[in-house]
């Protein structure tokens, strides 16, 4: 069965801390995505990656970076967490190819609170 896992379901961090959110998929998918979900705003794309060591900015990359050293793992990094980054973070993956014909498989999400 398809599986996308995220390292934490809930995370509480302090302003200024460096935060790592990890996402792992076991489906040999090449395409991986990070979104943040906020009430009334839906899902907004932060970064995505079509291959190892490859990344592209999404719609709201400011304050975030990513790392893709291995095919199955896509990490989201908050270099210096701020309170406006308090949100639900969702990771997703799709099967190979750069088209969007294929649906995304989502992890359960990480609810991050920055104090």
Partner 1 sequence: AQSVTQPDIHITVSEGASLELRCNYSYGATPYLFWYVQSPGQGLQLLLKYFSGDTLVQGIKGFEAEFKRSQSSFNLRKPSVHWSDAAEYFCAVGTTSGTYKYIFGTGTRLKVLA
Q: Using H for helix, E for strand and C for coil, what is the string for 24-43?
A: EECCCCCEEEEEEEECCCEE
Instruction: Name which position in 36, 85, 104, 114 contacts partner 1 (CB under 8 A).
Output: 104
Region binding partner 1 by CB under 8 A among candidate stretches 13-21, 70-78, 79-87, 97-105: 97-105
- By C-alpha distance, which of 21, 12, 25 is closest to 47? 21
Q: Binding residue for partner 1 (CB under 8 A) from 42, 62, 69, 84?
A: 42
Q: Is 45 in the site for partner 1 (CB under 8 A)?
A: yes
Quick check: 46 binds partner 1 (CB under 8 A)?
A: no
Backbone φ and ψ for 84, nearest 5 degrees, come out as -75, 0
Size of the residue set binding partner 1 (CB under 8 A): 24
Q: For residue 53, what are its two tokens?
A: 């060591």
CB 67 within 8 A of CB 75: yes
Q: Note the residues at the interface with partner 1 (CB under 8 A).
A: 4, 33, 35, 40-45, 48, 56, 58, 90, 92, 98-101, 103-104, 106-109
């Amino acid at each position: 069965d398809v599986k996308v896992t995220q390292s934490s379901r809930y995370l509480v961090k302090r302003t200024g801390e460096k935060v790592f959110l990890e996402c792992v998929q076991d489906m040999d998918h090449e395409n991986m995505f990070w979104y943040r979900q906020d009430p009334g705003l839906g899902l907004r794309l932060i970064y995505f990656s079509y291959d190892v060591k490859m990344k592209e900015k999404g719609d709201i990359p400011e304050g975030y970076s990513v790392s893709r050293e291995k095919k199955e793992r896509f990490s989201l990094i908050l270099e210096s967490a701020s309170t406006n980054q308090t949100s639900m973070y969702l990771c997703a993956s799709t099967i190979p190819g750069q088209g969007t014909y294929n649906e995304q498989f989502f992890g359960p999400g990480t609810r991050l609170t920055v104090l």
